[in-house]
Amino acid sequence: MRRFVHLIAVTTTAAFALAPLSAPSAAPLADTAPAAADNTDGSGAVLVDEISPRAVGADDTLTLSGRVTNTTDSELTDASVRLRYTEVPFEQRSELDTYDDGESDPPEQTHGETPIDTELEAGESATYELEVDVADLDLGGAGVYPIAVEARTGSGTELGSQRTFLPYQDDSSPEPADIAWVWPLAGGPHRTDDDTYLHRDFPQSLTADGRLGTLLSAGAQEGGLPLAPEVDDTAPPQEESASPTDDDADDGAEGDADSGVPVTWAVDPALLDDVNRLTEDSYEVLAEPLADVEGEDPETTEHDSSGAAQVWLEQARDALGDETLVSTPYASPDIPALLANGREEDAEAAMTLSEQKLADILGRAADSSVAWPADGHMDTAARDFYNEHGATRFVLDSSAMPPHPWAEESAPAAAPLSLPESEEDGTALLADSQLTDALAQHGRGPGQAALGTQRFAAETAMLSAAGDGDSDSGGSIVAVPPRDWNPDPAFARNVLRDSDDLPWLEPAALEDVRSGSTDEPQRQELSYPARGTPEQLSGSYLDGSGDLREEVRLFNSILVKDEEGSIEDNDPYRPALLRLSSAAWREEEKLASTARDLVDYSVRESLNQVRIIPTEPVTLAAQRGKIGIPLANDLQDHTVRVDLTMFSENNEQLSVGDYPSPIELGPETKTTVYVPLEARVNGRTVLHLDLHNTTGEPLSSGEVLTPVNATGLGSQALIISAAGALVLVIALAPRALRKWARKRARSGQDGPEGPTDSGASDDNRPSSEQPNQTGGSERDPEA
């Protein structure tokens, strides 16, 4: 019996020890370019505001007006101005630069003397108007002549002079030249990541007097577009530009409306993207663009969305809606550098993103048959790349296909260009480099509009006179201002108006500029200048963003891809990487480094927004249980798919069971993953948690540590002991009861008087002990 009861107790104890207990104790947890310097020989004493007419004939009266400033320390009572000139025109266009820069002698001859009637204290100014009969100058035939306005004291001391040019026409003037304009809406990158701008003055450039406002309004040629006039109070004030006279302004507006000079808009879609971002919501601007921000949270200021940007975009859609439009790849990347350094993927993405942005922002496509390479230069690899994307006409700088020495300035503006695997040649549309430089030379300073307009007249007059070898016309001129052109508003209007008004120019569309028909080519083959390779983005610069590209790749690896989505949906940092590849960084190494550091910081911050939410230490009150691991995706626009990795610091003490993987989280979503645990020994251990992409790469360098204290085994031991004690009680109870009954029986036989004597009746004996019939005593065998 004892062995049988012991077996029951052991079996019951083992059953309690192996029974699963589940009692989870961890609850789930919820642009502005600088103005050009005034071109004066002296100390800024003479300012020319207007020259009329731009070009003169023998019967005209030349009028020059402006201001004279007393730059001496004493009062001037008898100052005067006069004209200086020569009777011999310039022979070569290179002389225009030399003269304008003050590197050649001033004109020797003088004419007229107009007194300044006002006495001038030191620093004071007065206006002047100088009139000259052209016939009195005895000019020696059609051409461009150097002139200057000189201011003098009464004693004949020169105060200063301002140089400019005078085109002169007579009956021997050549036929007009066709002029085709490529009008830029471009510039360098303005953002680092998609929400952070490098300079605070970019919104200001979109107002009526800003750089981009001026280019859009002047190019539209409708007497000015209704752009936002207000000035962003976060931007530094711009220097006030000299305005033309009321008559000149009226003439310009009327001429613009009537002329309709054909303009080919050349757009960088990255600039449109920069403007469009200003219209969406608040944005950040770097406080110090050149500060060292590597690995640090950059200091920025927050700004509300820009009303000026909204107005500018609306006007751009109207102005560019039906006009000829050519486009750069997104952010005008350095295509030769990308192709030479194995970045073909970036080059392709720039082309694709360019098309997407034009469609999204302007609602139209560009003419893919025309390419506009950065800086007007390309090597043969870049030519082949553009040609693969449909380009057969290339807007290049004239130095990309220089004229043969014998052709000089008569070489045509359009030349045949061989294309790979094509029987037909393409066309190089060669922008005159000296004209481009002249357009860039005159900015927004006082008098710059008048001087720039006169320089434009001089340049085009000499180009027309040179012709292109065709005796029936003055040839063709392709005018392409710099991509970051920041002209005075009056100057921008004037050059388009004069393209129609000057007798030696005839407006033409870019598509009408064709290669010449001469038998012998006058221009050399396409060449990438020796300076091109050193000046393009270096391999070290492109390779320097290798770590950044790896982080971008890692970030992209957790995104749930949309097969019908755009580049930005599936590769959101691609625009930022393309902006870092812009050819504009060729001369901005320090700012390029800052931009790259900021993009790197932004990518790491985005990775950190997909995270494990840390919890308090967990107590496991049973041998087995589940704990909740909270995860968060704080990204606003992207769904992610990640793996949760979790292991115990001491697997013999605490083991981790199976849990769902991978885990998908929508934008700005939190969820809890329940993980089963099993404790083998009481005590404290640590769980190591980390997030990976689906191929096992960790998303961050740091793990999340969660302490777990297992206490369930102590309580279980008490339950097992109590159960064993109960089994023992049940097994021993019958024996105890029988013993108690026998004791009671003996106590009843003895009675209160003590035991009975031996002569007691046999009837009081147990039945088993009654005598048998033979007189003997016999025990019941069943007893």
* Structural domains in the chain (count): 4
- Residue 427 sits in the same domain as residue 494: yes
CATH number at residue 268: 3.20.20.370
Strands 283-286 and 300-303: antiparallel
Q: What are phi and psi of 36, to 5 degrees?
A: -70, 150
Residue 738 belongs to a domain = no
Angle between helices 246-259 and 489-501 (to 10 degrees): 50
pLDDT tens-place string over residues 12-58: 333 333 333 333 333 332 354 333 333 343 348 999 999 999 999 99
Residue 736 belongs to a domain = no
By CB atoms closer than 10 A (0-12, 13-18, 19+), residue 3 is: exposed
Residue 161 belongs to a domain = yes
Regarding predicted confidence, which is higher, 323 or 331?
331
- Residue 377 sits in the same domain as residue 487: yes
Mean pLDDT, range 224-228, rounded to an integer: 74
Residue that terminates a domain, selected from 607, 632, 648: 607
Q: What pLDDT, on a 0 to 100 scale, did the predictor assign at position 569? A: 86
CA nearest to 198, candidates 294, 300, 305 = 300
Instruction: Please report, rounded to a whole number, the percentage of residues in the chain having pLDDT higher than 70.
Output: 80
Q: What pLDDT, on a 0 to 100 scale, did the predictor assign at position 516? A: 62
- Residue 86 sits in the same domain as residue 125: yes
Instruction: Please report, rounded to a whole number, the percentage of residues in the chain having pLDDT higher than 90.
Output: 57
What span, in angstroms and rounded, lies between the C-alpha atoms of 307 and 235?
14
Q: What pLDDT, on a 0 to 100 scale, did the predictor assign at position 445? A: 87
Q: What pLDDT, on a 0 to 100 scale, did the predictor assign at position 749? A: 58
Task: List C-alpha distances in Å: 528 to 112, 203, 375, 384.
Answer: 51, 36, 11, 14
- pLDDT above 90 for 504: yes
- pLDDT above 50 for 743: yes
- Residue 404 sits in the same domain as residue 271: yes
- pLDDT above 90 for 724: no
- Residue 317 sits in the same domain as residue 399: yes
Are 483 and 36 contacting, i.e. CB atoms less than 8 angstroms apart?
no
Residue 193 belongs to a domain = yes
Residue 775 belongs to a domain = no
- Residue 428 sits in the same domain as residue 554: no
Which helix (H) or strand (E) is 94 found in, with range?
Answer: helix 94-100
By CB atoms closer than 10 A (0-12, 13-18, 19+), residue 21 is: middle
CATH number at residue 699: 2.60.40.2310
Q: What pLDDT, on a 0 to 100 scale, did the predictor assign at position 202? A: 93
Question: Which of 85-89, 390-394, 518-522 has the lowest average pLDDT?
Answer: 518-522
Mean pLDDT, range 336-354, rounded to an integer: 95
- Residue 457 sits in the same domain as residue 369: yes
CA nearest to 109, candidates 74, 144, 83, 130 = 83
Q: What pLDDT, on a 0 to 100 scale, did the predictor assign at position 19? A: 36
Are 429 and 514 contacting, i.e. CB atoms less than 8 angstroms apart?
no
What span, in angstroms and rounded, lies between the C-alpha atoms of 46 and 370?
45
Question: Which of 215-219, 386-390, 734-738 has the lowest average pLDDT?
Answer: 734-738
Regarding predicted confidence, which is higher, 408 or 143?
143
Mean pLDDT, range 174-197, rounded to an integer: 92
CATH number at residue 115: 2.60.40.10
- pLDDT above 70 for 283: yes
**462 CB contacts (<8 Å, ≥6 apart)?**
90, 93, 96, 143, 144, 409
- pLDDT above 50 for 705: yes
pLDDT range class, residue 651, cuts 50, 70, 90: confident
Task: List C-alpha distances in Å: 428 to 171, 323, 522, 592.
Answer: 34, 21, 13, 31
- Residue 151 sits in the same domain as residue 274: no
Report residue 769 as tokens: 């002990």
- pLDDT above 60 for 755: no
Are 434 and 549 contacting, i.e. CB atoms less than 8 angstroms apart?
no
CA angle 397/399/403 to nearest 5° reads 120
Q: What pLDDT, on a 0 to 100 scale, did the predictor assign at position 243? A: 38
Mean pLDDT, range 182-210, rounded to an integer: 92
Q: What pLDDT, on a 0 to 100 scale, did the predictor assign at position 518? A: 56
Question: Which of 118-132, 244-258, 523-537, 672-686 has the lowest average pLDDT?
Answer: 244-258
- Residue 544 sits in the same domain as residue 531: no
Mean pLDDT, range 556-567, rounded to an integer: 88
Residue 34 belongs to a domain = no
**115 CB contacts (<8 Å, ≥6 apart)?**
78, 79, 80
Q: What pLDDT, on a 0 to 100 scale, did the predictor assign at position 23? A: 33
Beta strands in 517-639 (DSSP E): 610-612, 618-620, 624-633
Are 637 and 666 contacting, i.e. CB atoms less than 8 angstroms apart?
no
Regarding predicted confidence, which is higher, 451 or 226?
451
Q: What pLDDT, on a 0 to 100 scale, did the predictor assign at position 547? A: 85
Q: What pLDDT, on a 0 to 100 scale, did the predictor assign at position 254? A: 37
Q: What are phi and psi of 160, to 5 degrees?
A: 165, 170
pLDDT range class, residue 294, cuts 50, 70, 90: low
What span, in angstroms and rounded, lies between the C-alpha atoms of 758 and 208?
141
- pLDDT above 90 for 313: yes
pLDDT tens-place string over residues 333-343: 999 999 999 99
pLDDT tens-place string over residues 658-679: 999 899 999 999 999 999 998 8
Tell me the residue length of the chain.
Answer: 783
Residue 772 belongs to a domain = no
Report residue 465 as tokens: 């006179």
Q: What pLDDT, on a 0 to 100 scale, did the predictor assign at position 668? A: 95
As a whole number of Å, the end-to-end CA separation of the chain is: 18
Range of the domain at 629: 2-29+613-715
- pLDDT above 50 for 608: yes
What span, in angstroms and rounded, lies between the C-alpha atoms of 660 and 26?
18
- Residue 9 sits in the same domain as residue 98: no
Report residue 338 as tokens: 């990308």
- Residue 93 sits in the same domain as residue 188: no
Percent helix / strand / coil, the chain, rounded to 5: 35, 25, 40
Report residue 152 as tokens: 């003098």
Regarding predicted confidence, which is higher, 685 or 754?
685
Token match 């800086």: residue? 375
- Residue 438 sits in the same domain as residue 561: no
Residue 758 belongs to a domain = no
Are 584 and 535 contacting, i.e. CB atoms less than 8 angstroms apart?
no
What span, in angstroms and rounded, lies between the C-alpha atoms of 371 and 373?
6
Q: What are phi and psi of 515, to 5 degrees?
A: -65, 145
For the chain, the average pLDDT equals: 82
Residue that terminates a domain, selected from 535, 555, 578: 535
**565 CB contacts (<8 Å, ≥6 apart)?**
none
CA nearest to 475, candidates 384, 526, 409 = 409
Residue that terminates a domain, selected from 565, 588, 607: 607
